[in-house]
Amino acid sequence: MLKALVARTRFGNRTIGFPQCQPTLPTRFRGRPEFSSELCRHGCLECVQTCPTEALRIAGGHPECDLGRCLFCGECETACHNGVIRFSRDYSMGASERSDLVIGPDTERKLIQSLSAEMLRLFRRSLRLRQVSAGGCNGCEVEVNVLNTIVFDLGRFGIQFVASPRHADGLLITGPVTENMRSALLKTYEAVPEPKLVIAVGACAISGGPYVNHPQVHNGAASQLKVDLFIPGCPPHPVTTLDALLRLLSRMPTGR
Q: What is the average per-residue pLDDT within 50-70?
A: 90
Is the pLDDT at 142 greater than 80, yes or no?
yes
Q: Mind listing the pLDDT tens digit for each residue in 75-99?
A: 999 988 888 899 999 999 999 999 9
DSSP string, the chain: -HHHHHHHHHH---S--TTTSPPPPPTT---SEEE-GGGPPTT--HHHHH-TT--EEEETTEEEEETTT-----HHHHH-TT--EEE-S-----BSSGGGGEE-TTPPP-PPPPPPHHHHHHHSS-EEEEEEESS--SHHHHHHHHTTSTTT-GGGGTEEE-S-GGG-SEEEEES--BHHHHHHHHHHHHHSPSS-EEEEESHHHHH-GGGTT-TTB-SSGGGTS--SEEE--SSPPHHHHHHHHHHHTT-SPTT-
- Read off the pLDDT of residues 162-202 as tens digits, 9 standing for 90 and up: 999 999 999 999 999 999 999 999 999 999 999 999 999 99
The reply to whether the predicted model has a pTM over 0.85 is: yes
Q: What residue segments make up the domains of the chain, in order of their start?
A: 117-248
Third-level CATH fold of 117-248: Rossmann fold (3.40.50)
> Residue 170's pLDDT is what?
97
Q: Tell me the mean pLDDT in the region 58-65.
A: 82
